[in-house]
Amino acid sequence: MHALTLKLREEWRDAVWTDAALVLLFSVLFWASKWAGKIIDELPGHSGAFWIPVLLVSACTVRRPGVSTLTAMLGGLLWCFPKGGGAGALAPYVAAGLLVDVVNRSQNRLALLPVALAAGVLAHLAKFGFHNLPRLILGAPSDFMTVGLAGVAGLHVLFGLIGGLAGWLLISIMQRRKPSASNGAGAQPR
């Protein structure tokens, strides 16, 4: 754990205010995307189509290790704690951000469609596992009591795929708009 902490500290040592501002912006977008997900409140897992793209785009924009985890943690804090949710409500989002960071370990893998789709599904299944598996074990009522555990897991996979696709599309658009150094974009006009 100490080695991981040192590596993260080294990677973030040269961070600038722009990095911090972007992380805060993506955290607010994460929070706003959770509100957007409230539009269709009856369908389990639907909000993943809104908040997963934010995690994917944050990872490809800031390009520092752990940025999706940090975005999910700060956005989750904004979402969970005003409603009385504690660490148990925050943990699923942190786990989802952590999985996006693990999948994107080379800082550019989310630009590939299969990787973005896998990241979306894994992130959403992590959140699903935190919310529903303990309830299943304890026998507490949950969303899956009406549709069935497999049905809700399937919906989480579906919305994870949608979120991964939306994130990939946003990343692709951003990369097309970014000027490349090879076409002379960095040269000064005369």
What tens digit of pLDDT does each residue of 123-179 get? Answer: 999 988 887 766 667 766 655 555 567 788 888 999 999 999 999 999 999 888 876
* Number of domains making up the chain: 1
Amino acid identity of residue 160, one-letter, is G
Looking at the domain assignment, is residue 93 inside a domain? Answer: yes
pLDDT value, residue 184: 46
Q: Report the alpha-carbon distance of residue 101 to residue 107 in Å, rounded.
A: 8
Q: Report the alpha-carbon distance of residue 1 to residue 141 in Å, rounded.
A: 37
Q: Tell me the whole-structure pTM to 2 decimals.
A: 0.79
Q: Report the alpha-carbon distance of residue 72 to residue 90 in Å, rounded.
A: 9
Give the CATH number of the domain where residue 161 resides.
1.10.1760.20
Looking at the domain assignment, is residue 31 inside a domain? Answer: yes
Stronger pLDDT, 153 or 14, i.e. the higher one: 153
Q: Quote the domain boundaries for residue 69.
A: 17-176
47-103 pLDDT tens trace: 889 999 999 999 988 888 888 999 999 998 888 877 766 667 788 899 999 999 999
pLDDT value, residue 171: 93
CA distance to 42, 132, 138, 179, per residue, from 55 (Å): 24, 22, 31, 23
Q: Where are the alpha helices (DSSP H) in the chain?
A: 2-12, 17-36, 48-62, 67-80, 87-103, 113-138, 144-147, 149-177
